[in-house]
Amino acid sequence: MPKDLLTGSEGLVGSAIKRHSSKERDLVCVTKKQVDLTDFSATVKMMEDLRPERVFHAAAAVGGLGGNMRHPGELFRKNILINFNVLEAARVTGVKRVLSYLSTCIFPDKVEYPMKETSLHEGPPHPSNFGYAHAKRMIDIQSRAYRMEYGCDFITAVGTNLFGLNDNFNLLDGHALPSLIHKTYLAKRDGKDLTVWGSGKPLREFVFADDIARLSLWAMDEYHEETPLMFSHGEETSIRELVELIAKKMNFQGKIIFDDSKADGQYRKPSDVSKLKKFQPDFKFTSLEKAIEQTTKWFTASYPNIRM
């Protein structure tokens, strides 16, 4: 049976790919406890031992707004090493296909909206994402440079604000949606107010990780272009609307406070989804309400055995 390798299999996107992987393929999952992807010799040895035909590269060092602002150096260093090592080890061991993940937060802060895949390098990213964004942009450069010189059929997909099961629910370093689910759970349990960072005005495209997994399996089979592909429905939701939806789904009746002393980060980063629609006109994204319902139910049932 043809073998696929999945990096980051315990993470948000990786665990979703595992849930959706096809029975016709042998999906081998490696976790950071098994292989240190920041170490090239360990990475290439793993690829030589496994000899996968294709790699879903979902491993990354990720922070939300808080984490990114506090650790620009660490996020740059770890992601540059992980990404270079995985793509170079894949190349030298003859892996046919690598699908890697970019993110809308790495796009230029001042760019024509909605953002097109081709505008990735047309200006600096928002300062809050400085280290992470520059490291992640190099996946696009490495994938395209390897395609030019070595004919590597490596592709990249752009995630927006992804969420779902097995997310990082850390209250300081997590992304907005999982951190807010965690905060709402604690505020309800302890009868406290729910404090939200910033004004609540920023807009984000929240996409369910299971939808990214389904699109990833399709792209690995069918997408062969050098330019990244936006994996999003293109619908924006304000942080305020998000919090109200989470509170409703978790039946939180307490007070919701917006703490203006905390950063808003980028105001919005809408993605142009016309290219995905051309390839996948009938793809149905999970509704935000249904996805949040599944995620909050999973969180409440799993707590405290969650990543936090």
Summarize as ranges the residues that interact with ligand GFB (CB under 6 A). 62-66, 68, 103-105, 129, 132, 160-161, 174-176, 179-180, 183, 196-198, 202, 204, 239, 262-266
Nearer to ligand GFB, 5 or 17 (CB): 17
- How near is the Cβ of 184 to ligand GFB at its closest, in Å? 10
Q: Could you say which of 132, 146, 185, 223 is catalytic?
A: 132
* CB 2 to ligand GFB: min, Å: 31
Side chain identity at residue 231, one-letter code: F
**Cβ nearer to ligand GFB, comparing 114 with 198:** 198
Beta strand pairing call for 203-204 and 237-238: antiparallel
In whole angstroms, the minimum distance from the beta carbon of 291 to ligand GFB comes to: 15
Q: Is residue 132 annotated as part of the catalytic site, yes or no?
A: yes
Q: What does each C-alpha distance from 267 to 202, 237, 247 come to in angstroms?
A: 4, 11, 22
**In the complex, least distance from residue 73 CB atom to ligand GFB, rounded to whole angstroms:** 15
CB-nearer residue toward ligand GFB: 139 or 180? 180
Q: Which positions are catalytic? A: 132
